[in-house]
Amino acid sequence: MNPTTHSYKADGDIVSTNASQHWTRLESAIQNVSENELLEVDLRAANMVDSVGLNVIVKTIKTVDARKARVRLLIGSKSLKRICTFTRLDQKAEIVGP
């Protein structure tokens, strides 16, 4: 049986100037995630994620992990995929694309 999926769609890059807004929205999405459920974070509109943005993604994964749930990251850019590999996020969340 497929787990219940919650989703969050980023409307663009996640960088220092808007990271806190993304986190506020992500945090409220995370509140609805229960054990064994899935949070799908759609980052296909994001071409760029800087260190502060990366922090938001890491925090999301850790918070969801603490709830014994999982995160799936939908990636659209090669650059972001590289960052996920480089930071071993691919070992902590399911990465889809590009």
Partner 1 sequence: MLQKIKERIHANWFSATRQPAPAHGLSTHIRNTIGEVENVFRGISDNLDLIDEKTKRLRQDCQILLAAAGGQNESTQLLFRVAEALESPMAFLTSCLQDHQRNHDLMLASQQSAADLLKMQNDMVTSLEPLKFMLVFFKIEASQLSEENRQTFHSVSEEISRLHVLVDETFQKNIRNLQDARDAILTAEKNSKSERVLQSQRISDKQSEISQAIDSLKGQIEANAKTSADLDIHTNNFESAIGTLVMSLQYEDIIRQRCETILSDLDQKPDHVSDASWLVLMASQIETAAEEIRQSSNELNSGLNAISHQAEELYRSATTMDQFEHITASADGMVQMLLESLESIRGMLEQSTQLSQDSREAIQPVQNLTKELSAVVFEVSIKIQFIALNAQVRSIQVGEGSGLEVLAARTADISTELRTLGDSTAIQINELHQAVDELVNTIDAEWNGGKQQLASVEAQSPALEAELHALRDSTLNSLEIVASLSEMVASFSNDDAERLHQLTLQSDKLEAFARDLRAQANLDQLKPRARQKVDAEIQALLSDKQGAMHTRVHNDSQSQSFDLGIGAHLQNRATSSKSLTSDNIDLF
Q: What's the rounded Cα separation, in Å, for the pair 71 and 94?
A: 6
Q: What's the rounded Cα separation, in Å, for the pair 18 and 52?
A: 9
Nearest distance in Å: CB 51, partner 1: 4
Neighbours of 13 (CB within 10 A): 19
Residue 33 or 77: which CB sits closer to partner 1?
77
Nearest distance in Å: CB 26, partner 1: 16
Please give the residue ranges that form the binding site for partner 1 (CB under 8 A). Answer: 16, 50-52, 54-55, 58, 61, 78-79, 82-83, 85-89, 92
Q: What's the rounded Cα separation, in Å, for the pair 57 and 66?
A: 14
Nearest distance in Å: CB 54, partner 1: 7
